[in-house]
Amino acid sequence: MNNIVEPGAGLLFMKVGTHAQETLEKIISRKIKEIEDAGFAMWGYGGNTCHPRTMVQPFAESLEERGKPIYLCMNEMDSSHFAEPMRAGEYSADAITWQLVPPPINVLGSRFALVIEDLRREVFELPLERTRVAIGMNRGRLGSQYIAGRADKACLEVIPESERPNNAEPRPIKIDLVARLRRPYAVFLR
């Protein structure tokens, strides 16, 4: 079993693909270069499922208090996100105090971004029946049930044993990319 998927570990799951008229391979290359040049990168996203202030930051901070890292585990999918590739000029951890996005970092076509380091290809299966939603209105719901719906991202905690309601078949999901989140974990963009 991958050392990321151990009981008590926290991870942010996200489906990824083409974004803002850019292929995933191009995004990965650009983000690796940004990490080399700036020490971190910003992985843009939208939607309120993993809102920076109410979901990602409190989840990551609770893991940090327990001495645990938080990993972004990404599942590659076909995507047709062709929004305009507008570069964000500013970011904020609280949507009050804003800072300029460092020149080496280009975060495009997104409302929010995860702050990442150590982006790498790492292929493994994430057993969703060994995860639970860790925060928010769906807290406690099995990852396999939550991700089965329209959700394409989630703050998940790994549980010790698989739980399968009504003897449902295990539903592992392939992880293709991994990055470690760093403070402030998630930010607002404009």
At 140 the pLDDT is 95
Q: Tokens 């989140």 appear where?
A: 181
At 138 the pLDDT is 94
| pLDDT tens digits, one per residue of 25-67 | 999 999 999 999 999 999 999 888 899 999 999 999 999 999 9
Q: Please list, residue by residue across 152-184, b when 16 or more beta carbons sit within 10 angstroms of its beta carbon and e when fewer do.
A: bbbbbbbbeeeeeeeeeeebebebbbbbbbbeb
Q: How many helices (H) and strands (E) does the chain have?
A: 3, 9
Judged by DSSP in three states, 11 sits in: strand
Q: How far apart are CA 184 and CA 66, in angstroms?
A: 17
What the block records as the tokens of 48 is 């309120």
Q: Is the pLDDT assigned to residue 179 strictly greater than 60? A: yes
Percent pLDDT > 70 in the chain is 94
| pLDDT tens digits, one per residue of 89-145 | 999 999 999 999 999 999 988 999 999 999 999 999 999 999 999 999 999 999 999
With beta carbons less than 8 A apart as the criterion, state whether 72 and 181 touch: yes
At 104 the pLDDT is 96
Domain boundaries, the chain: 10-189
In sequence order, what are the residues at sequence separation of 6 or more whose Cβ sits closer than 8 angstroms to the Cβ of residue 142?
128, 129, 131, 132, 133, 163, 165
